[in-house]
Amino acid sequence: QDEGQVLFKLADDKQFFNELRTWLKTNKFIRLNDDGTQSDISRILADRGRENQERKKRLRARVEEMLLDAESYALGQHLQLSSSSPSTKLDEACRYLLENTYTKLSYLQVYQQDAWRELNAVLTVDDMAQLGLSLDGGQTNPKALQEVEQY
């Protein structure tokens, strides 16, 4: 129930977690023991590494399935997300969290299309006058200004 978090309740899949544990152990073993000095051992470890890569692909596919089937919660509410891909489902959950945490976010109007460029310009300029920004605020975000003034 912590604020600012989305919770995905994954199914209890013992086979998945056993496979994950095996992948982690194998990956660590290969990393620690492959010094390349003995060709026979290096060949065996390379074979195990290839098997582990296949294991990783299976794990990734299973995590995606589990995320699609997972129940999701945010701000104490059960979310009804109807996405067909895990990344879209995560995006929907984050969007819900943002929109319901920052209810007045829509007051802000974005005029700059390239936000990274604007941020970089603001951070690297020596004087605000050089940047050509007016600090009086104007009426660029009237709802936001009104809300701040009323606060």
Residue ranges of alpha helices (H) inside the chain are 14-33, 39-69, 86-101, 115-124, 128-131, 142-150
Q: Which tens digit of pLDDT belongs to each residue from 85-122?
A: 999 999 999 999 999 998 888 887 766 677 788 778 77
Q: What is the pLDDT of residue 49?
A: 94
| DSSP state letter for 84 | S
Strand-pair partners of 136: none
Query: What pLDDT is attached to residue 137?
Result: 45
pTM of the model: 0.66
The Cα 19–Cα 57 span in angstroms is 11
Residue ranges for the chain with pLDDT beneath 70: 1-2, 110-112, 127-140
